[in-house]
């Protein structure tokens, strides 16, 4: 009896390492693209630094102020000398006349902000058009040649080059103009496809390399990473900028991007290679970036493939629903286009730098929590339709925008947090729209429709920032919060369109049920639904 017990105990002890090894192999199998995502998204830690750098660049290179005046912008958060009374007897080290210096700093801050806003008005057009053209070709090219890694790694490589350009522009602060430092790095990123192409590549990669039974878990894990890293990075962005300075922070981002790029080149496998490892009988020659493959990138038929997805006739009025969904997706960005203006106003009116990163992190955190609540409770538990979730989200956003306008016009920073707390369901609109689109097209059209949404994103970048920049410059003298009222107008338009979309979708579903169609017109793709976070 004792011998049997000892044998059983020994067998269990022997099987424990086997189970641990099996779990570890499972984890290694799932962790493929996640390290690349982490190292790439970490680059948002430079977001606050880029904003302050452009203000200082406009001050020094465009307006010709002394570097000592421009460099003081970053200190206004802790020492707002613009609030000092005119008869103050205060002094500063290295400053001969404090009153004169204070006047120069305050006027330079306002003037440099206007210069950056004007730069945004036409920079967004250039970047948006270039990015839209690139995505128009690359989305279909990736599907046709079966290569997903280039969609992810090329933008990362371009990001490294862009950071290098920023460093050079920072070294030659007066010699290189604001326009060069503001446009060239963004053009480099746009020619590579930028973040929209990375997102498209991630979605396509995970869809192809993950079995259907494991997709929900994989996409949920990726969504958590994609949502969490920016929250942490933005929180520390202002602090790291003040501690390291602009150039050293750019070097740090180059290092993280390089690690992600090397991992993608030498560790990450193409989905085709993964399948060949699992089933050697299906092994063909691994696909690489040959001259033939690259030649197909500029095939005009790739554009036709994307357009054909929109023009294809579909049963139960689904094509009209698809058109309306893409249109409302475009209009929806109009209500989100005030994000850059909100950051600029926080910098100018509240002198936020470290607090700006904190507020952005809080905004991302509340948006993630609200999205999980909307998707988990409203969609999954209560069965609320995607279009009605959009209506629900818009109603909360319409409450938050006027509060933002009041915050900047009355100089009450805490109202930024109040508005953000109310508008916590903002992100659920994007997910719901992607979910609607994924149910209207076939499985073989998912990557193309994602590419189309990426093109719409680029078109939005080319149009709405210009509108908001113009409104900001024209309205700042009579009401500084006008940009948020413009967002309110876009929200009203999108609300009406979401209601129409809800009615059309309900009628289409009713017709499907009456026809008792056995074939499902679209696909409820968890890749699109979950990872849109």
pLDDT, residue 299, reads: 57
**Mean pLDDT confidence for 346-368:** 91
pLDDT, residue 359, reads: 94
Q: pLDDT tens digits, residue range 445-481? A: 766 777 777 778 777 877 888 899 889 988 888 888 9
Q: pLDDT tens digits, residue range 141-151? A: 766 666 778 88
Q: pLDDT tens digits, residue range 470-518? A: 899 888 888 889 999 999 999 999 999 999 988 888 887 777 777 755 5
Distances (CA, A) of 198 to 122, 142, 376: 24, 12, 26
- At 400, list the tokens: 């938050």
Torsion sign over Cα 395, 399, 405, 408? negative
User: Do 495 and 146 form a contact (C-beta atoms < 8 A)?
Assistant: no
Which bin fits 383, alpha (ψ -120 to 50), beta or left (φ > 0)? Answer: left
- At 298, list the tokens: 């500029």
**CA atoms of 317 and 353, how far apart (whole Å):** 50
**Which stretches does DSSP call E strand in 235-364?**
none
**Which stretches does DSSP call E strand in 293-340?**
none
pLDDT, residue 513, reads: 74
Torsion sign over Cα 20, 23, 29, 35? negative
pLDDT over 70, % of the chain = 80
Question: What per-residue string of b and e applies to 171-201 under the rule 16 or more CB within 10 Å gives b?
Answer: eebeebebbbbbbbbbbbbbbbbbbbbbbbb
**Mean pLDDT confidence for 414-433:** 88
Nearest CA among 92, 38, 40, 43 for reference residue 69: 92
**Mean pLDDT confidence for 2-26:** 55
Task: Provide the pLDDT confidence category of residue 415 given band limits of 50, 70 and 90.
Answer: very high
pLDDT, residue 286, reads: 45
Q: pLDDT tens digits, residue range 48-68? A: 999 999 999 999 999 999 999
Among 30-34, 120-124, 407-411, 482-486, which stretch is predicted with the lowest mean pLDDT? 30-34
Task: Provide the pLDDT confidence category of residue 413 given band limits of 50, 70 and 90.
Answer: very high
Write 270-278 long-range contacts (CB < 8 A, 24+). 270/146, 270/147, 270/148, 270/149, 271/146, 271/148, 271/205, 271/208, 271/209, 272/146, 274/32, 274/209, 275/209
User: Do 330 and 457 form a contact (C-beta atoms < 8 A)?
Assistant: no
pLDDT over 90, % of the chain = 35
Task: Provide the pLDDT confidence category of residue 406 given band limits of 50, 70 and 90.
Answer: very high
Task: Provide the pLDDT confidence category of residue 90 given band limits of 50, 70 and 90.
Answer: confident
- At 84, list the tokens: 């000092």
Helix (H, G, I), strand (E, B) or coil at 517: coil
Residue 511's contacts (CB-CB under 8 Å, 6 or more residues apart) are 316, 317
Nearest CA among 363, 336, 292, 308 for reference residue 433: 336
User: Do 391 and 332 form a contact (C-beta atoms < 8 A)?
Assistant: no
**Mean pLDDT confidence for 187-208:** 84
pLDDT, residue 168, reads: 96
Q: Reduced to 3 DSSP states, what percent helix, strand and coil does the chain have, rounded to the nearest 5?
A: 80, 0, 20
**CA atoms of 221 and 113, how far apart (whole Å):** 39
């Amino acid at each position: 009896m004792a011998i049997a017990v000892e044998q059983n105990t020994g067998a269990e002890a022997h099987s424990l390492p086997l189970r641990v090894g099996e779990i570890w192999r499972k984890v290694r199998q799932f962790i493929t693209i996640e390290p690349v995502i982490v190292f790439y998204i970490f680059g948002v830690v430079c977001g606050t630094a880029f904003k302050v750098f452009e203000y200082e660049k406009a001050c020094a290179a465009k307006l010709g102020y002394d570097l000592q005046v421009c460099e003081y912008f970053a200190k206004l958060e802790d020492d707002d000398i613009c609030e000092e009374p005119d008869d103050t007897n205060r002094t500063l080290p290295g400053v001969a006349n404090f009153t004169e210096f204070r006047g120069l700093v305050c006027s330079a801050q306002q003037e440099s902000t206007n210069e950056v806003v004007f730069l945004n008005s036409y920079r967004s057009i250039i970047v948006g058009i270039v990015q839209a053209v690139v995505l128009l070709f690359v989305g279909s090219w990736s599907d046709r040649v079966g290569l997903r890694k280039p969609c992810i790694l090329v933008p990362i490589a371009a990001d490294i080059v862009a950071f290098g350009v920023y460093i050079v522009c920072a070294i030659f602060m007066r010699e290189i103009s604001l326009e060069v430092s503001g446009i060239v790095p963004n053009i480099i990123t746009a020619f590579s496809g930028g973040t929209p192409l990375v997102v498209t590549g991630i979605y396509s990669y995970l869809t192809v390399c993950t079995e259907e039974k494991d997709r929900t878990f994989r996409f949920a894990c990726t969504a958590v990473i994609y949502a969490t890293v920016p929250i942490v990075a933005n929180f520390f962005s202002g602090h790291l900028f003040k501690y390291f300075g602009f150039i050293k922070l750019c070097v740090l981002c180059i290092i993280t991007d390089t690690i992600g790029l090397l991992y993608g080149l030498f560790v990450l496998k193409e989905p085709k290679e993964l399948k060949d490892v699992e089933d050697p009988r299906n092994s063909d020659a691994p696909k690489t970036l040959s001259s033939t493959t690259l030649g197909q990138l500029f095939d005009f038929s790739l554009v036709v493939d994307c357009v054909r997805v929109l023009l294809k006739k579909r049963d139960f009025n689904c094509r009209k629903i698809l058109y309306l969904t893409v249109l409302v997706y475009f209009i929806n960005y109009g209500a989100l286009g005030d994000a850059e203006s909100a950051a600029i106003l926080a910098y100018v009116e509240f002198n936020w730098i470290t607090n700006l990163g904190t507020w952005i992190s809080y905004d991302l955190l509340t948006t993630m929590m609200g999205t999980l609540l909307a998707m988990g409770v409203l969609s999954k538990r209560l069965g609320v339709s995607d279009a009605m979730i959009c209506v629900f989200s818009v109603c909360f956003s319409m409450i938050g925008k006027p509060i933002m306008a009041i915050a900047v016009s009355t100089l009450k920073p805490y109202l930024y947090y109040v508005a953000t707390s109310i508008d916590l369901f903002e992100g659920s609109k994007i997910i719901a729209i992607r979910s609607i689109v994924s149910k209207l097209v076939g499985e073989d059209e998912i990557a193309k429709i994602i590419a189309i949404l990426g093109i719409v994103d680029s078109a939005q970048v080319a149009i709405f920032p210009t509108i908001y920049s113009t409104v900001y410059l024209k309205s700042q003298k009579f009401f500084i919060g006008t940009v948020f009222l413009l967002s309110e107008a876009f929200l009203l338009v999108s609300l009406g369109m979401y209601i129409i979309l809800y009615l059309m979708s309900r009628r289409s579903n009713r017709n499907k049920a009456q026809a008792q169609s056995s074939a499902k017109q679209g696909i409820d793709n968890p890749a699109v639904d979950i990872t849109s976070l």
